[in-house]
Chain A
């Protein structure tokens, strides 16, 4: 994603040593959110790191693809980390956490099982915040060209002369 270097020039070891775990997938530090393996990190512009990690988890739980790495979910929601969007996102995530504590006794990101988190999301799915996040992900996630190969989608083909000589009819398992 956008920040392949760790924030503020931290080494991977330093980054991990200064961060605290958030849920199963993320670590959060002062002004940044990173993957547990520190393979990616993104600096916060307007959102609280805890909130961004929660939103990234929510994004994965809405459209879970086990073969798609967290960094793509983080990229898909990065647009909320702006002065214009952050307040709305923080308020929505506040509601999500309130609901999570009522239903499951902990903040959303600390609910261990996906099925339990999904129960919380189901209870919230008619909320405008949920619908905004879900709707945004349809393009924010699936229109990232980097993930298309994971799904076996090849994208643009004109520059390669189409498929007339590249297997438009190469299906082998049908007569």
Chain B
């Protein structure tokens, strides 16, 4: 049967969320002839709709539904109802992401083995490894047209990169370039090449940056096998007496409740919403929430340790011109415990416009110490730290007492740094400041983490059902026809921006689901 599908059609795969995981999975399944209903909480915005304006774009795209926070992270104090900067729209956070597409390093798949047990950390090896993932990464890089792979040239360096790379060279780093970016460096795949516009975070108006909103989703829809329902907020996943899931209940934009039947349900709502949904779906049979026999649903929330360093110079930089994140130093990404911490971090170019710089440089700060930095906005260069943070059982998503506009319990996001996170961030701040000092910075500004964009863990993958929520295919240990298809599957966070891995896992999961359906196992 072709889309649109009947709500009583229990032959469809229902996917919740249309970002890197859900959007990719939807297209991959549709290409294989499988009927898919994708439910997306947000509306649909395409390149012509995107706004070159930070606050207006935030209003258009960001997930601003209520959430609450706790823990010692500064975000809980400065942005208590905005723990993350992610997107509520068709395409999810692939509209907002900057495009950095890095493979995990081999040792990162086996963090427990390679780092050892750290007190307070809930480290575990992934049940898959680099060899298993290599061919899926190949497919993902091809799909996303990643620079530095498949003969795609790297992007040219912008002003911010020139300062960054000169500093990298001065301090003796070897591995730096303009990155592996899912941004066209030449016209390809019916999408334009990058026009160095900036505003990568606000949705690429040229469509040069890969986003499921205008690649995977329309490709899937063109097969006739994919129906995307926008402004459909899933409230609950329901199941039968045998414990198999049978469909989902969702609210439309008017608040009317609908039920969509399903053969398989795949959850891809990001690491805050996915566990929230499983917990909100608690029933008599599953009083602690769906797929939670391990008690691990919502736990091990990771966000990369992050942080930024800005340098001010005596001459203009104009860091905001050009591709926001086309610049990376990888020398510190290795695991080298002699630095005083396990795991590693990437340094990547980053810029914010003046309005967001004012909001995020030092939230809550005021007075001349703060404003003299902004006075020299034009002379600033910026970089972002992306490092592996430790999974901790106590860093977790739970259901808050607060309710959203639909009367559903919202996610409370609890996060406190591990001592390893603090040691790594301080190391990265020192290196970042040294990089800018070496090119003549007159002032450097180590900047605290922003609301999270890399939300990971909370439904982690594990070999044994007692240790995690999903198996190596993203299939929940407890319920065979319930899958997790987003970054919440991550067993550990690695040092790399997660999108490429989420996409590779989704392509692989689609293959598995199709195979199991054919075999009559699902």
Contacts and interface: CB of A to CB of B under 8 A. Distances in A.
A77 interface: no
Nearest to B158: A168
Interface string A135-169: 00011011100001001111111110111101111
B197 interface: yes
B74 interface: no
Contact of A158 (B159, B161, B199, B371): B199
Nearest to A60: B371
B371 to A, nearest CB: 5
A174 B354 CA distance: 23
A19 interface: no
Given A153-B353, A168-B158, A63 B371 contact: yes
B197 A163 contact: yes
Contacts of B367: 62, 64, 118
B370 interface: yes
Contacts of B206: 158, 162
A151 B375 contact: yes
A141 B162 CA distance: 31
A113 interface: no
A174 B439 contact: yes
Contacts of A132: none
Contacts of A141: 358
B52 A157 contact: yes
B370 A158 contact: no
Given A63-B366, A158-B205, A168-B158, A163 B355 contact: no
Interface residues of B, number: 44
A170 B159 contact: yes
Given A63-B370, A64-B368, A171 B159 contact: yes
Contact of B377 (A63, A153, A162, A173): A153
B321 interface: yes
B514 to A, nearest CB: 40
A138 B197 CA distance: 25
Nearest to B164: A174
Interface in A39-59: none
A28 B156 CA distance: 55
Contacts of B162: 169, 171, 174
A18 interface: no
Given A158-B52, A168-B321, A65 B159 contact: no
A3 to B, nearest CB: 25
Given A67-B375, A162-B198, A138 B358 contact: yes
Report the interface size class on chain A: 35 or more
B358 A167 contact: no
A167 B163 CA distance: 15
Contacts of B194: 164
Contacts, number: 115
A163 B318 CA distance: 11
B321 A167 contact: yes
A142 B355 contact: yes
B53 A152 contact: no
A157 B200 CA distance: 12
Interface in B266-322: 315-318, 320-322
Contact of B318 (A121, A152, A156, A159): A152
Contacts of B199: 156-158
Contacts of A142: 354-355, 358-359, 374
Given A162-B197, A175-B166, A151 B157 contact: no
Given A169-B158, A174-B162, A174-B163, A65 B197 contact: no
A130 B158 CA distance: 40
Q: Which of B163, B166, B378 counts the most chain A CB atoms within 10 A?
A: B378
Interface string B185-205: 000000000111111000001
Contacts of B195: 161-164
Contact of A171 (B53, B318, B359, B377): B318
B159 A169 contact: yes
Contacts of B315: 173
Contacts of A156: 52-53, 199
Interface string B449-486: 00000000000000000000000000000000000000
Contacts of A175: 166
A62 to B, nearest CB: 5
B359 A138 contact: yes
A158 B374 CA distance: 24
B406 interface: no
Given A118-B367, A167-B321, A171-B163, A139 B158 contact: no
A173 B370 CA distance: 26
A73 B31 CA distance: 56
Interface in B164-212: 166, 194-199, 205-206
A104 interface: no
A110 B52 CA distance: 42
A101 interface: no
B368 A168 contact: no
Interface of A: 62-65, 67, 118, 121, 125, 134, 138-139, 141-143, 148, 151-159, 161-164, 166-171, 173-175
26 contacts: A118-B367, A134-B366, A139-B359, A141-B358, A142-B355, A142-B358, A148-B354, A152-B318, A153-B354, A153-B377, A153-B378, A155-B52, A156-B53, A157-B198, A157-B321, A162-B196, A162-B206, A163-B196, A168-B322, A169-B158, A169-B162, A171-B159, A171-B316, A171-B317, A174-B163, A174-B439
